[in-house]
Amino acid sequence: MDFDLSEEHQEFQNHLRNWVDKKLPKSTAREWESREHEYPTELWDLMSEQGLHAVGLPEEYGGSGSDVFSQVIIGRELSRTLGGLVWTWGLSSFCARSIAESGSDELKSSLLPRLAAGEIKIAIAVTEPSGGTDLLGQMRTVATKVDGGWQIRGQKIWSTAAHVSDYLLLLAKTDPGAEKASRGTTLFLVPNPAKGLEIRQIPKLGMRAVGSCEIFLDDVFVPAANVLGEVNKGWQGILTSLNNERIIVASLCLGVLDGVLEDAVDYMKTREAFGRPIGQFQALQHYVADMAIAQRESELAIYYAAWLQQTGRPIGTAATMAKVIASDHATTAADQGIQILGGMGYAQETDMQRYWRDVRLYRIGPITNEMGRNLIAESFGLGRSF
């Protein structure tokens, strides 16, 4: 068995880490994040110049190839300094993959080159206010067929960066009488702005500068050409992308773990108490050892899931495991990091509090870890608990 990245991937990782340290240092991330509701356009532009939006997309549409490991490397290296600001890249990667897999030839030709170049942005609009994880069972957003397309009425929530996006990747019910809810939904690309479309930002604990939004749709018209995949089979079309998203989210958690461990060790080497560096205190050394163990466990789970996807094997359970493992570990590590730094860990001039605020969300979304564990247990043949 080979646990190393390929030589090409290692070179890419080293190059990207050097670029991140130079262009996206933690001090700059803190400055962007301090603006709270102001989207970091400079960050998007830097990623576009570096070609990061092209990773994961087919070469014939201006991408650099559908390489899952490259996506994992990008997620990890960016979140090491950016924390939750990494979603400036992550959303584009997820939505672009959905278009590449489910879009018509016309949509692919029209949108993928522009996505790869960083010319347009797309946000995910899937979650319902009353649904949460029970997305299909509580879906109230309905699309009705009309001349030339569809008319959509309903509401979505937690749509990150919707306020600055050119399109919304939206899931709506198109067959309310379907025997199974998963068979009566359709994926749409909703243009933004559009008549009847209203978007409001939600104040929140972390990931402040990226912005998360409520979306209100009052008979918004979407052309028939903007349907992704088959009508009434939207859920099936999004499943592959959802599994990929869990792998990417896990890589974002691993990057936060990297940043937390890096800052904790640096602080422990320089901060003195009782006449010696606090790095000599056994209790704090145990925290660092736990972080290092968690880092390796997360890395192995993520690389295994990425390898399964790269080789065309089923990845549902492995992707969910990677997400649960990495998000639990990263949240615990960020909390321990604050403990190590003491009062300074609580201060906004350091990054520990930013890591903790941002990574806490990953235990909730895109699927709660409790629901993730349900799915893992179900893969052993146990009955559904929901």
Are residues 158 and 103 part of one domain?
no
Which residues, at least 6 apart from 83, have a Cβ–Cβ distance to it below 8 Å? 29, 33, 206, 207, 256, 259, 351, 354, 355, 358, 359
CATH number of the domain residue 282 falls in:
1.20.140.10
Least reliable range by pLDDT among 50-59, 94-103, 106-115: 94-103
Greatest CA separation found in the chain?
78
Are residues 293 and 181 part of one domain?
no
Radius of gyration of the chain (CA): 21
CB-CB contact of 267 with 219 (8 Å): no
User: What's the token pair of residue 250?
Assistant: 């896990």
* Residue 1 located in a structural domain: no
**Residue at a domain's end among 172, 199, 232:** 232
Predicted TM-score (pTM) of this structure: 0.93
Look up tokens 């050409």; give the residue.
Answer: 225
Return the pLDDT at 177.
Answer: 82
**Of 245, 262, 297, 299, which one is the catalytic site residue?**
245
Are residues 340 and 244 part of one domain?
yes
* Residue 163 located in a structural domain: yes
Are residues 370 and 241 part of one domain?
yes
Q: Is the pLDDT of residue 210 over 80?
A: yes
Q: Is the pLDDT of residue 187 over 90?
A: yes
Are residues 113 and 12 part of one domain?
yes
Dihedral sign (CA 182, 197, 161, 155) = negative
Are residues 127 and 14 part of one domain?
no
Active site residue 245: yes
Q: Is the pLDDT of residue 164 over 80?
A: yes
CATH number of the domain residue 186 falls in:
2.40.110.10
**Residue at a domain's end among 70, 95, 120:** 120
Return the pLDDT at 28.
Answer: 96
Mean pLDDT of 257-269: 98
Are residues 373 and 307 part of one domain?
yes
375, HSE (Cβ side, Cα atoms, 13 Å): 18
**Residue at a domain's end among 120, 143, 176:** 120
Q: How many domains does the chain have?
A: 3
Give the rounded distance of the alpha carbon of 333 from its chain centre: 19
What residue numbers bound the domain in which 331 lies?
Answer: 236-378
* Residue 2 located in a structural domain: no
